[in-house]
Amino acid sequence: MNNTTRFFKLNKDGVCNFCEAHDSLEKQFPISGNEKKIAEEIIKKGKNKKYDCVLGLSGGRDSTYLVSVAKRLGLRPLLVHFNDGFGNPTAGENIKNIIKKTNFELRTITSDWRESRDIKISCMKASVPDMQIGMDLGIATALYSTAAKENINYILGGVSFRTEGVVPLDWNYLDGRYLKSIMKNHGTVRLKKWKPYDPGFNFDVKEFFYYSFIKKIKYIPLLYHLDYQRPKAEEIIKEEFNWKYPGAHYFDDLFQSLNFYILRKKFKIDYRRFNYSALVRANQYTRDEALKKVEKIYEVEDEKIIDLCVKRLGLTQKEINHFLNEKPKSFLDYDSNYKFIKLIKYPIKILCKLGFLPPSLYLKFFT
């Protein structure tokens, strides 16, 4: 990863910051059965409520497995799905099957296509790699606003640092102020204003404080506490929910085809590098295996689906080629909360420890 991110560092012992982050998370989240204790706390706090937690569901492997875990632990989640117009129908079928098998309730939060399309195109015009910022912020606002509306205090996240790793900041930077800056410079649609229960794509410091401290919502990365191994998880969810593989990791979202294509061609970014690095660190892959895999173009870059994405956005291949030829930029070229976040290192650390922010966030910014 060293030649693909400016946020790569080696310490005096020759250990890189991503390995340090992984080791730190391993210490903080050992595999020790702690998930049962967490579930007890969630159940206790949600005793007289209809639901005791919100669980983000895409229909992909990780979030589907999280549903299985939540069920096993006796939780009563309200499942929340965010739809931005690029859902993979296979993932949709999975969601349908999960609902039928669990009887858990689902809330689908749908973006306004005029906004979500404009965000994606604006990011391309801005020449930044963060073309999924709309999707990521949309998921965050869908989860938090639903939890706030239903008076739920916990959000369960289906990410595992053992399989996913920590994404370099300049590969994926998530910040509401940054999105506003991109839209101000390149957008053609004015994004709707924030409302607590209808937040649209607004998730900045103010909104975060509202959900975290007024509505007292915490984020729990439940899979961090488990020995999460994808092949085993897949067996379980196939058996339990008749789950079907959408074709690649991240491919619960069809836009990833175009995203991966542009990231590779223009930014020399390949998400598998930090994914597979994590799997190597977690002894789930060998380094040789991982290196061999990344030699080939990732199957998510399906030509037909790339065409579908281009067409769906109302673009042409010529316009995509134009974006590809523009000089690459990053979040550092736009207004964002980056400098502010760098100033509040210790409050961020505490917020991560207290569960108000994802634990990897501190490590992403400060290791």
Partner 1 sequence: MSKIKIALGQLLVEGGEPERNFDRALKLISEAKNNGSDLIILPECMDFGWTHPSSLTEAKFIPGEFSDILCNEAKKNEIFICAGLSEKNPEGGQNFNTALLIDSKGKILSKYRKINVLKQASDFYGIGQKLEVVDTHFGKIGMNICSDNYKDSIDIGIVLCRMGAQLILSPSSWTVDHSITEEEDPYKLKWVNQFISLSKIFDIPIVSTTSVGYIVGGPYEGKKMVGCSIATDKNGLITQGDYNEFASDIKYINVELKDNKLRGTDIGPKIYEEGFLNWKI
For partner 1, the binding residue among 20, 26, 93, 234 (CB under 8 A) is 93
The pair of structure tokens assigned to 23 is 């080791």
Cα–Cα dist 64/340, whole Å: 36
Q: What are phi and psi of 268, to 5 degrees?
A: 55, 35
How many residues touch partner 1 under the rule CB under 8 A: the total is: 27
Q: Is 308 in the site for partner 1 (CB under 8 A)?
A: yes
- State whether the Cα torsion 253-258-261-267 is positive or negative: negative
Name the E strands within the chain: 53-56, 77-83, 106-110, 154-156, 218-220
Nearest-5° angle of CA 252, CA 253, CA 254? 115
For partner 1, the binding residue among 36, 37, 96, 342 (CB under 8 A) is 96
How many Cβ atoms from other residues are within 10 Å of residue 41's Cβ? 15
- Closer to partner 1 at the Cβ: 117 or 281? 117
Name which of residues 153 to 212 contact partner 1 (CB under 8 A): 198
Q: Is 109 in the site for partner 1 (CB under 8 A)?
A: yes
The contact pattern for partner 1, residues 258-297, with x = CB under 8 A and - = no contact, is ----------------------------------------
The pair of structure tokens assigned to 261 is 């294509």
- Closer to partner 1 at the Cβ: 198 or 235? 198
Q: Is 83 in the site for partner 1 (CB under 8 A)?
A: yes
- Closer to partner 1 at the Cβ: 195 or 206? 195
The contact pattern for partner 1, residues 22-61, with x = CB under 8 A and - = no contact, is -------------------------------------x--
Q: Is 245 in the site for partner 1 (CB under 8 A)?
A: no
Q: How far is the CB of 163 from partner 1 (least distance, A)?
A: 25
Question: CB-side exposure of 277: number of CA atoms within 13 Å?
Answer: 19
Burial bucket for residue 132 (CB in 10 Å: 0-12, 13-18, 19+): buried
Q: Is 337 in the site for partner 1 (CB under 8 A)?
A: no
The pair of structure tokens assigned to 18 is 């991503």
Residue ranges in contact with partner 1 by CB under 8 A: 59, 81, 83, 85, 87, 89, 91-93, 95-96, 105-114, 117, 198, 308, 311-312, 314
